[in-house]
């Protein structure tokens, strides 16, 4: 992500409106059983946001900015061969608040062996899907 003067930013290649970037949250998500890339992406996004608190939006710490002005830009690293299977709308449901300006899906993540194929858990094979997420938070 390139950040220009004045903290205006948007993911590279994005058509989203610029926002003032406050911070970036990063996460990793796995789906070890069932081979569901959307589940891995949702876990990556939850991982990115689960250890943070954003009191500045609720308390009016930023002059003229309230909770309703929070904007999010999400960037997901997903294996190229699985990008068509990703349900972006379902991934968006992970975020309890904030206006999602865009979700950018780029080549990334990983498909690797989980070391075990458990049919009872919905496995088609022993593949483990891994997705990386970057969540840009601003206003």
Over residues 75-88, the pLDDT tens digits come to 999 999 999 999 99
Cβ count near 87 (within 10 Å): 14
- Record the pTM: 0.85
The model's confidence at residue 13, banded by pLDDT at 50, 70 and 90, is: very low
Domains and CATH numbers, the chain: 21-138 (3.30.1330.20)
pLDDT in tens, 95-119: 998 999 999 999 999 999 999 999 9
Question: Nearest 5°: CA angle at 82, between 33 and 43?
Answer: 50
């Amino acid at each position: 992500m390139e950040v220009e003067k004045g903290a205006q930013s948007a993911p590279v290649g994005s058509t989203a409106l610029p926002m003032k970037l406050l911070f970036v949250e990063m996460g990793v998500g796995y789906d070890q059983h069932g081979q569901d890339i959307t589940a891995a992406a949702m876990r990556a996004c939850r991982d990115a946001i689960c250890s943070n608190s954003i009191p500045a939006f609720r308390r009016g710490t930023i002059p003229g900015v309230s909770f309703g002005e929070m904007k999010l830009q999400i960037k997901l690293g997903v294996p190229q061969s699985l990008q068509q299977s990703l349900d972006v709308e379902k991934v968006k449901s992970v975020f309890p608040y904030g206006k999602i300006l865009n979700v950018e899906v780029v080549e990334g993540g990983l498909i690797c062996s989980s070391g075990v194929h458990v049919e009872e858990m919905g496995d088609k094979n022993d593949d483990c899907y891994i997705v990386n997420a970057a969540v840009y938070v601003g206003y």
